[in-house]
Amino acid sequence: MRRGGLLLAALALVTGACGGDDDPKTVTLVSYESFPTDPENPLLVALDEFTEETGIEVEILIAGDTGTMLSKAELTAGNPEGDVMWGVDNTFLSRALDAEVFVPYTADGVDALPSDLTALVPNGEATPVDFGDVCVNYDIAALAEAGVEPPSSLADLTDPAYAGMFVVEDPATSSPGLAFLLATVVEFGEDGWEQYWRDLRANDVLVVDGWSQAYYEEFTFAGGSRPIVVSYGSSPPFEVLFASEPLDEAPTAVVESTCFRQVEFAGILRGTDVEDEARQLVDFLISERFQREVAMNLFVFPANPDVELAPEFTAYAAIPDDPLTMDPATIEANRADWIDRWTTIVTG
């Protein structure tokens, strides 16, 4: 009997120690895994200032890549893992809205955002926070070493010269992966994109689940074996700014004709018990204070046009004049079907 009592006491201790944080003043920000977690990072320093001003603590919960994060949010809609979710983009947004993941909220300061961004969410379904382009990137030195010219278009990538060099993300689980699939649909049309992917497959394209795996693990520049990767238009400045030795020129480059425009949103997760605090956090995310850190730390363009971009960012980032786009209704109508067909072609 006494031993049983001890066991119970031990149980109570252990579970008590890891029970949830009930402090109503904590807002959990759910984000994708490329969101920085280092407390020294200026984005987190900005969030600290938010805490000082409002008394609201911000906790960051990394929930995998965008697609995985969104699937979890769908399955937990109404009883979410956090309070605010950042990182759903225009290619996935309709899925989030269908699943009623967010409570609508028109953030303070939304009026200052460009209308082409806010037009995507006319009723405050979510709040646009940043945008960027998903582009084919390549490792300049690795291609030179292999003795091949950099690709200049999507079509080039099916050339046997690039066999075994290209790594992409699965569009079912990754937002850049989906953006890239959409780019191929725009480029080759409803009749041509499937053949394009068959050709890519014949050319030994590698598919991984998410961006950070593709970029940080498979890409040659990070020590992998694939010199061409689907990443962001802002990846080259990242490599310059975070180089271990100072660089004059970016070691990686972007194939501009492959770029697809992506807008990322933040939203208040339905079922949060700190809705008021969550609103304040969303307001803060599009405030000038926070937005000015976005470019240099997430390597995307801030939604707020009043924020000045650092010269080293604009010098190396590819800003395509005419990125590929697709209207949300077309994406919504076809996404599931395209992903299924893609899966059959590429991984079947």
Partner 1 sequence: MTGSPLPTARRAPLRRDPNRLPRWFLAVLALPPAAFLAVLYIWPLATIATRGLSGGALADTLARPDTWRAAWFTTWQAFASTVLTVLVGLAPAWAVARFTFPGRRLLVSVLAAVFVLPTVVVGAAFVALLPDSLDRGIWAILGAHVVFNLAVVVRVVGAAWEQLPIGLERAAATLGASPWRTFLHVTCPLLRPAIVSASAIVFLFTFTSYGVIRVLGTAGTRTLEVEVWRRATQLGDTGGAAVLSILQLLALGALVAVSARIQRRGAHVLALDPHAGRPRPHARQRWLVVAAAGGAFVLVLVPLIALVERSLRVGDGYGLDAWRSLGDNEIRPGLRLGIDPLGALRNSAVTALWATLLALVIGGLAAVAITALRRSGRLLDAGLMLPLGTSAVTIGFGMLITFDTPPVDWRAGWWLVPLGQALVAVPFVVRTALAVLRSIDPDLRAAAATLGAPPLRAWTATTLPYLRRPIATAAGLAAAISLGEFGATSFLSRSGSETLPIAIERLLGRTGRLFQAQAFALSAILAAATIALVIVFDLAGNDRERS
- Amino acid identity, position 216: Y
Q: Contact between 33 and partner 1 (CB under 8 A)? A: yes
Identify the helix (H) or strand (E) that includes residue 332: helix 328-347
Place of tokens 């690795």: 142
Asked if residue 216 binds partner 1 (CB under 8 A), the reply is yes
Contacts of 315 (CB under 8 A, 6+ apart): 237
* 87 contacts partner 1 (rule: CB under 8 A): no
Single-letter code of the amino acid located at 76: T
Tell me the site size for partner 1, rule CB under 8 A: 50
Residue 59 pairs in a beta bridge with 28
Verify binding: residue 64, partner 1, rule CB under 8 A. yes
Q: Which of 2, 5, 22, 38 binds partner 1 (CB under 8 A)?
A: 38
Query: Should residue 95 be labelled a site residue for partner 1 when binding is judged by CB under 8 A?
Result: yes
Q: How far is the CB of 83 from partner 1 (least distance, A)?
A: 12
According to CB under 8 A, which residues from 168 to 207 bind partner 1?
172-173, 207
x/- map, 122-151, partner 1, by CB under 8 A: ------------------------------
* Radius of gyration (C-alpha) of the chain in whole angstroms: 22
Q: What is the DSSP string of 67-115?
A: HHHHHHHHHTTTS-SSSEEEEEEHHHHHHHHHTT-EE----TTGGGS-H
Of the pair 68, 203, the CB lying nearest partner 1 is at: 68
Q: Which one of residues 9, 146, 247, 336 is an interface residue with partner 1 (CB under 8 A)?
A: 336
Interface stretch with partner 1, choices 131-139, 229-237, 325-333, 337-345 (CB under 8 A): 337-345
- Rounded to whole angstroms, the Cα distance separating 108 from 53 reads 16
Q: Looking at 63-71, 147-155, 156-164, 189-197, which segment touches partner 1 (CB under 8 A)?
A: 63-71
5 interacts with partner 1 by CB under 8 A: no
User: Tokens 């649909």 — which residue?
Assistant: 185
